[in-house]
Chain A
């Protein structure tokens, strides 16, 4: 059974840092791209960024709103994805989900499984 479990959320002051984790199981983690998507309270879904797999050199893509402040990394030996969030702003307050990608170059990469999310609150 595919499972994605996020952790690391909590309350942090503006300007602070936080590191989220996404622990995966039930599939070959190293084969897959994995994304972060967030949802501010009462709002819609917003893509945060993507980690490509080993075959694609673990490169990452980011939304403009987090580029330069957030960093996605992964440890395939631990089946885990990370989101290092620095210089946090109040507008980063959201539930953060990780999502597994499937697909390929010819069909595109889309989400099939999502984690349950972890809440990040940025407030003084």
Chain B
């Protein structure tokens, strides 16, 4: 199985800050990586696929990069509605696997 490791597991940031979350795969997955946002008691929301492509309707302050084993999710200017937990996920091979999540909290 491909292990997905996210860091940090949590972070505190202020509105307007630039935030970067990293995700590392235990083996190469090309760009077959997605990012999801989840708010408390809500279903996940799809943000990014193919490592850097934004899902329809996702604000442009979100961006993704990387290939192979190392990936990043960047929020260029954190907004109040962005405080949530973020998960990466590989869909290169079965079983599909998720990172452990990064909780973005208000500083």
Question: Which residues 81-107 in B have Cβ within 8 Å of A in the complex?
Answer: 87, 89, 91-92, 94-101
Size band of the interface chain B makes with A: 20 to 34
- Are A97 and B94 touching (Cβ within 8 A)? no
Interface residues of A in 61-105 (CB under 8 A from B): 61, 63-64, 97, 99, 103
* Interface band, chain A: 20 to 34
Query: In whole angstroms, how far apart are the Cα atoms of A41 and B46 in the complex?
Result: 21
Interface flags, A1-42, vs B, CB<8A=1, else 0: 000000000000000000000000000000000010100000
Q: Which of B43, B46, B92, B98 contacts A44 (CB 8 A)?
A: B98
| A97→B44 contact, CB < 8 A | yes
Q: What's the Cα separation between A21 and B65 when bound, in Å? A: 36
Which residues 48-107 of B have a CB within 8 angstroms of A?
49-50, 55, 87, 89, 91-92, 94-101
6 shortest A-B CB distances, which residue pairs? Answer: A47-B96, A114-B43, A110-B49, A45-B98, A108-B32, A110-B34
Contacts A44-B99, A45-B38, A114-B43 known; 13 new A-B pairs at CB < 8 A: A35-B96, A45-B44, A45-B87, A45-B98, A61-B94, A107-B50, A108-B92, A110-B50, A110-B91, A112-B55, A114-B45, A114-B46, A116-B42
